[in-house]
Amino acid sequence: MPVPASPTPPDDADLVRAYQGGSEAAATELVRRHGAPVARFLVGLGADYADIDDLVQETFFRAFRRIAGWRGDAGFRSWIFTIASNLLKDEHRRRKARRSVPLEDHDLPSRDNPESAFALRETERRLVAALQTLPRLQREVFLLRAQQGIEYPEIATTLGTTAGAARVHFHHAVKRLKEMIA
Amino acid sequence: MRNFWLVPLVFGLVSPLAAQELNDDPRASDLRRQIEERFTARVKEDLALTDQQTIQMKSTVRDWFLKRRDMEDENRRLRDAMSGQLRPGVAANKDSVAKLTDAMLDLKVRYAQSFKDEIKEMSGYLDPLQRAQFMVLRERLIERVREVREQRDDSTGRIRRRQQP
Amino acid sequence: MTSCEEMLERMPAVAMGDAQWTEEEALHLAGCASCQAEWSLIRNAVAVGSQVPMLDLEKTGAAVLARLRAERQASRWRRAGWLTGLAAAAAVALVVWSRVSHHTQRTVPEAFRIPVAELDSLDNGELESVLQDLDAPIGAGTLNSTPGLGDLDDVQLERLLRSLEG
């Protein structure tokens, strides 16, 4: 007797469409699916643990506001990562402006909450600190590839580069990080 | 006392909210009746409806009210089914979610279209200005209802009444 | 023979548990200090944030939806205007649709009374508030003097009528 195939679960595109049709349950499911990876990505970008809850919420709020902007060319999760990254950059700029520190390309994480640094293990903390010294594109390529396991074509679509360039950025990032952390 | 009829028209798309239960309190029934009677009287007065027009309008609004009530019931069933599919721990089915989504979107369009069709039906016995006037009056009442709803103090259930000029 | 570059490309998948080293790759890793350093780096990258405080994603989702609703409401209040462009019927319909996704037991009354389904979910206090506002003297309302329509110029009125006619 053949075993009936398990029903295929709805993918992100199905859920986005359902949300656009009026289903709030679909939106909740998207948050459930992608909330934790978004939080980890934000930590990798240098966000304080203390701010993670608010940052994750704000990321999804911005995403659903402009849900029509996701055309499905990159994965939904990758798209959310872009929003999270831009949000964190805005947040760092805002804090820097308050402290009257000139803007730099390397967006250093906030030092306002030194306790949060100890939530990371020492090796992770050193990696996050080293990541902050990389150019933004290299940092994000590294996290998308190494932390999130995303393939180069999708990274390329997400970050507006080519798959070949993304691969080069990743290898350069690995080389520099190895030198800094070794 | 603030004049309801001066509430400015505000438009916008809204997402469906969680299902609400009918307030079946006898006092509520009586209040709804009074509101609808006052509103109807205002419509008849402003549009200067003849007896014949009143009879025809009664038939139109009754028919479309019943059609929309059926659609509202259908929407509630679809939303419940979708929530059931997307419960934590439940293996949601892609095909089912897609079908439910299509159905919800179709229904949304049909519901919006029903108001337009209702007004078109009135073109058989109301002139364009009367139809426009009816739309404006109904929109304002609905807007006031929504305003009152949004003013509700969730923690106590009391209404924060608008400041009177 | 597996190169270091090929090893690096395989590391994220293996670190995330989506793949395993082949025997050849495991041998390469055991004997290559450079790859070992990169493997340590990639494993740390996967671990970053894995100890993030347990997020209550249900609560996050609910908060996001609440903010979206509040923003839509605020946007409606800012947007005041006449029936231009958007069909009046559709505008009213979508307003009603947002509120009336509940079951109503009411039947249409025999005497002529325009039913307003929106009222069904209001509590008694809210109904009283709406009733209080319906205080315009019945005799005072005429087509020309009703606030609003009389303010439209010919072009606006024409546009309104066209949008109603569909």
CATH number at residue B129: 1.20.120.1490
pLDDT at C162 over 70: no
- Closest-approach residue (CA) in chain A for C34: A178
Q: In DSSP terms, which residues pair with B10 in a beta bridge?
A: C80
Are C41 and A177 in contact (CB < 8 Å)? yes
The structure's pTM equals 0.65
Phi and psi at residue B30, to the nearest 5°? -65, -40
Q: For residue B101, is it within any domain?
A: yes
* CA B84 – CA B92 distance, rounded (Å): 8
Say how many CB pairs under 8 Å bridge A and B. 70
Are A147 and C45 in contact (CB < 8 Å)? yes
Residue C118: CB atoms within 10 Å: 24
pLDDT band at C110 (very low <50, low <70, confident <90, very high): low
Confidence (pLDDT) at C111 = 67
Confidence (pLDDT) at B72 = 86
Do C165 and C95 sit in the same domain of this protein?
Answer: yes
Report, as an integer, the average pLDDT of C40-62: 88
- Closest-approach residue (CA) in chain B for C77: B10
Report, as an integer, the average pLDDT of B7-33: 55
Q: What is the topology classification, in CATH, of domain A12-181?
A: Rna Polymerase Sigma Factor; Chain: A (1.10.1740)
pLDDT at B133 over 70: yes
Confidence (pLDDT) at B150 = 73
Got the DSSP string for C31-94?
H-HHHHHHHHHHHHHHHTTTT-----HHHHHHHHHHHHHHHHHHHHHH-B--S-SS-HHHHHHH
What is the extent of the structural domain holding B47?
A: 27-150
Q: Closest partner residue to C143 among B13, B48, B72, by Cβ?
A: B48
Q: For residue C13, is it within any domain?
A: yes
CB A39 within 8 A of CB C55: yes
A26-60 b/e with 16+ CB inside 10 Å = b?
bbbbbbbbbbbbbbbbbbbbbbbbebbbebbbbbb
pLDDT at B162 over 50: no
Confidence (pLDDT) at B69 = 86
What is the extent of the structural domain holding C95?
A: 84-104+117-133+152-166
Q: For residue C14, is it within any domain?
A: yes
Q: For residue B111, is it within any domain?
A: yes
* CA B5 – CA C148 distance, rounded (Å): 9
Contact residues, chain A, for B18 at CB < 8 Å:
24
Report, as an integer, the average pLDDT of B33-45: 91
Confidence (pLDDT) at C138 = 39
pLDDT band at C154 (very low <50, low <70, confident <90, very high): low
Q: C148 CA to chain A: closest CA distance, Å?
A: 32
CA-to-CA separations, C92 to A60, B59, B116, in angstroms, rounded = 29, 20, 9
* CA B4 – CA C12 distance, rounded (Å): 64
Confidence (pLDDT) at B152 = 65
Per the structure, how many domains does chain B have?
Answer: 1
- Closest-approach residue (CA) in chain B for C135: B3
Tell how far CA A43 is from the center of its chain: 9
pLDDT averaged over 10-residue windows placed end to end, chain A, 182 residues: 69 94 93 95 91 94 92 91 94 75 47 48 89 94 96 93 94 94 78
Are B16 and C139 in contact (CB < 8 Å)? no
Q: For residue C64, is it within any domain?
A: no
Per the structure, how many domains does chain C have?
Answer: 2
Contact residues, chain C, for B60 at CB < 8 Å:
none
Q: For residue B129, is it within any domain?
A: yes
Q: B122 CA to chain A: closest CA distance, Å?
A: 30
Per the document, the length of chain B is 165
Report, as an integer, the average pLDDT of C131-152: 53
Confidence (pLDDT) at C88 = 45
Q: For residue B2, is it within any domain?
A: no
Tell how far CA A28 is from the center of its chain: 19
Contact residues, chain A, for C51 at CB < 8 Å:
119-121
CB B42 within 8 A of CB C141: yes
Confidence (pLDDT) at C41 = 95
Q: For residue C62, is it within any domain?
A: no
pLDDT band at B18 (very low <50, low <70, confident <90, very high): very low
Do C94 and C20 sit in the same domain of this protein?
Answer: no
Contact residues, chain A, for C63 at CB < 8 Å:
57
pLDDT band at B8 (very low <50, low <70, confident <90, very high): very low
Contact residues, chain B, for C121 at CB < 8 Å:
20-23, 149
* CA A168 – CA C32 distance, rounded (Å): 22
* CA A144 – CA A131 distance, rounded (Å): 13
Q: What is the pLDDT of residues A127-142, one digit of tens each?
A: 999 999 999 999 999 9
Report, as an integer, the average pLDDT of B79-90: 90
* CA B62 – CA B50 distance, rounded (Å): 18
